[in-house]
Every structure is written in structure tokens, then in C-alpha cells.
Structure 1
Amino acid sequence: MLEHRLKADLGGGDYGWLNARHHFTVTAGGNPAHRPLGPLVVWNDDLIAPDSGFPIHGHENMEIVSYILEGAVTHRDSAGGQGRTEAGDVQVMSAGTGIRHEERNAEDVPLRLFQIWLRPRENGGLPRWGSRPFPKADRTGQWAVLASGMPSDQDALPIRADARVLGATLKAGQRLNYSMAGQGYLVPTLGAVKVNQARVEAGDGLAITLESRLVVEAIDDTEVILVEVFGA
């Protein structure tokens, strides 16, 4: 089953320094139909103005994956993690027993990123942060696992959730298959795609349940991010 979440129906708002779209219900004013999908509870599409960002704040017992679409994010946290992650690359943070952090756009151009939050398979653990590049050339016409809690995904950034985050870039007309073992959520970052014949535009989301196979066809040159989750 495919549940198409149109960009126009997403929650969020424009706060001046932040323009946010919420694929899942985050605030009381969010779309109540956009419920979590297993351990996947947040997917925010955030546009952050230059020289601004999220000030120091805390989390616990959450796995947070940030995929950078434009610009770069500068991270600092109470566990000693710090770094700058550029467009096309990924950072992950395991909040564990508790961590405080800030995410800033220290550049002179806007920062756009996906914030993806996943419940861990169990609470606790030492907080940690990590970042690494994922060249788009390495995922042209194929899936690359960017972050994963699956032991077999050894080249991905590790997270403590029963999930994997994948990315692929496609030229117009290219097709790509994926065998689903769990539930999923897919977002194209630009252009449009067909997923099992359902057309999905950039900024829309597609919740995927009870589908064993995905056929993703690029209508335009595009990039897609897919999160597959396991368990309730």
C-alpha cells in the first residue's frame, strides 16, 4: 500500500530563520493523518537561513540522521562531537542517555537538510555523533546505504535503530528496484519519480506498507532518499 503525502498537506511553518515542512506529525498543529511509521517518528525538510540555526538543546533515546541537501551544517555537542557536514553527506547522532547539541548554518548561503528521527531498539547507551561523505557518483543508478542499524551494512554510518537510510541518484528514464522487507518512507529531493506507478513530486512523501518490491522510475533527473524500518 502506498500513502502519498503531498507537499501542500505537510505540517510545518515559516519562522523567518527556519522554513520547515514536517512529513510526520510533530506539533499540535501538524497533520494528524501523518502518523509515525514503526520507529520512524520525524522527517523534517528544513531550510535554514545563513548565520542561524538550532541553539543548544537536549535529546535522549533518539537516533537522529541528517541528510544535507544544500549548503553545510556545523555541529557541536556535549559529548565532544563537532564537525561540518556538506551537501550530499550525512551525519548521525545517537542521543542515548542524554546529549545537548547545536546545529548551525555558519555559511553565507541557505542550508537545507532532512532531519530523520528514529526510536532506538532499546533505550540508553553512551551518546555519540558521526559524519562522513557519500559521493553522489557512488550512488548513480544504484542504492547506497547511508546509515543503518543492520549489522550487514558495514559501510554505512551506524545507528541504534532497526532501520536503514538509503540514497540513489537517477537520470530521467532510469529505473531502480528495491526489495522491501519492512515498511518504508521515500522522498524525492528534486524532479519527479514514479514509484510502483504512483507519481511523486519533489517535496512529497510516500509511506510504503505491505509492498514487497519497489520500482522507482525517474521522470526527471532526480535523487531519492528512502528509509526502511523494521518492527512496530
Structure 2
Amino acid sequence: MIEVRKFDTLGKADHGWLKANFHFSFAQYFDQRRMHWGALRVWNDDIIAARSGFPPHGHENMEIITYVRKGAITHKDSLGNEGRTEAGDVQVMSAGTGIQHAEYNVDDEETHSFQLWIVPDRQGHKPSWGTKTFPKDARSGKFDVLASGREGDADALRIQADARVLGATIAAGETVEYDLGGRKGYLVPATGKLEIDGEVADARDGVAIADLDTLRVKALEDSEVVLVDTK
């Protein structure tokens, strides 16, 4: 099963400093058909204006992954962590028993990001935060694991869920495969245009995938892709 969710059909919110697009029900946007995909609860496509951002606020019992597509995001939290995540890189915040954080675009250009929330396998774990640089050439022509709760993914940022967040850059005409093994997948091209089993997805469309053993992604244009593999 493959369902392409066109960008124009996503939920929308415009707060001036923040333009948000919701792949799943979030805040004031509600669609009973788009509540979650497996353990993936939130996929927000955000554009944050220069010199603005999210003031301090709290989360608990959620794995929050931010993939920066353009610009950078600066993080500060109640655990004393501070850091900057730039385009192509990833940060993970495991909210656990509770954490307060702020995220700002401190630069003079817009920040474009995907923010994903994944429901953890259990509640009450110790909160944490981390960020990591993932050079795009390291994942050229293949899916590279960016964040994972699986054993064996030692190079990925750790999350408290049976899930993976993966990234790939795929040249036009190239096909990349991933062993999904019948689990759920949710894929979004950050840039470019893709074909998956005859279905075409443009940049920022969502692709919900189920009951598929091997995922085959063909790039119709040079593309940057983010994929979540979840139970």
C-alpha cells in the first residue's frame, strides 16, 4: 500500500514568524484519517523566519527529531544543553520524564526543517538531547540511518523507540532500495521528485507505505529524502 499525500492537502498554520505544514493532526489542525502512522505521531514541515523561534516550553514522553533542510536551528534546554544544528544535520530530544527547551533561528535567513515526533516504547526514561553532522556525500545513493532505537545502529543518534529515521540523496535516474520488511514507512522528499511503484511524489509531499517488503525509490530529479521506518 502506497498513498501519496500531496503537499497542498496538508494542514496549514501561518503565525507570521512560523509557517507550518502538518502531515498529521496537530494543534488546531485535525483530520481523523491522519492521526499517526505507526509510532510516528507528528511530521511538521516548518519555515521559521529570521531572528525568531520557539520560546521555552516543555515536553515529556516523546522522541522529537529535527532534520534541518535549510539554515540552522539553535537549541537550549533545562538540562544545560546548547547546540546548533545546520542544514542536512539532525538533532534528537528524548523528552522522557520531562524537559524544557527553546529553539531559535538566530540567523538572518529563514530556517526550513522537518520536525518528527515518535512515540517511545516506554514512558519515564531519562531525558536527553544530542545533535550530529551527517555529510550528504556519506548517504549518496543509499539510505543512511540518522536516528534509531535499534541495536546495531551505533553511529546513529539514539531514540527510545523501535524506529529509524533515515536520509538519502539520490541522483536523477538512480533507484535506491530499503528493506522495510512489511513495517510501516513514511517518506518525504525534501527536494526533488520521486517514483515509488508507479506513484509520483514531489518535494514536500508525504508518502505513507505499508505491507511492503522492499521499498524501491527512483529519483526523477536529484532528490534529498527523509524516511521513517516504524512498527
Q: Given residue 171 of structure 2, which amino acid in structure 1 is its aligned partner?
A: K
Q: Given residue 228 of structure 1, which amino acid in structure 2 is its aligned partner?
A: D
Match of 2:159 in 1: 159
Cα deviations across residues 6-51 of structure 1 (Å, max 9, x unaligned)? 1111002111000000011113433332120111000000000001
Match of 1:141 in 2: 141
SS of 2:8's partner is helix
Match of 2:30 in 1: 30
Q: Given residue 103 of structure 1, which amino acid in structure 2 is its aligned partner?
A: E
Work out the CA distance in 2 between the residues paired with 1:4 and 1:198: 7
Work out the CA distance in 2 between the residues paired with 1:28 and 1:55: 19
Work out the CA distance in 2 between the residues paired with 1:44 and 1:29: 12
Structural mapping, 1:150-189, within 5 Å? 150-181=150-181, 182-189=183-190
SS of 2:16's partner is coil
For structure 2, the 5+ residue unaligned runs are none
For structure 1, the 5+ residue unaligned runs are none
What is the Cα deviation at residue 205 of structure 1? 0.2
Match of 1:65 in 2: 65
SS of 2:147's partner is strand
Structural mapping, 1:118-137, within 5 Å? 118-137=118-137
SS of 1:189's partner is strand
Q: Given residue 109 of structure 1, which amino acid in structure 2 is its aligned partner?
A: E
| 2:39 maps to 1:49 | no
Instruction: Tell me the percent identity.
Output: 50
Q: What TM-score, normalized by structure 2, do the two folds share?
A: 0.97
> 1:10–1:31: 8 Å Cα contact kept in structure 2?
no
Match of 1:96 in 2: 96
Q: Aligned Cα RMSD in Å?
A: 0.9
Match of 2:39 in 1: 39
Q: 1:31 to 1:9 in 2, by over 3 A?
A: farther
> 1:13–1:20: 8 Å Cα contact kept in structure 2?
yes
SS of 2:57's partner is strand
SS of 1:155's partner is coil
Count of aligned pairs between the two proteins: 230
Work out the CA distance in 1 between the residues paired with 2:29 and 2:149: 32
Q: What TM-score, normalized by structure 1, do the two folds share?
A: 0.97
Work out the CA distance in 2 between the residues paired with 1:39 and 1:22: 16
Work out the CA distance in 2 between the residues paired with 1:102 and 1:54: 6
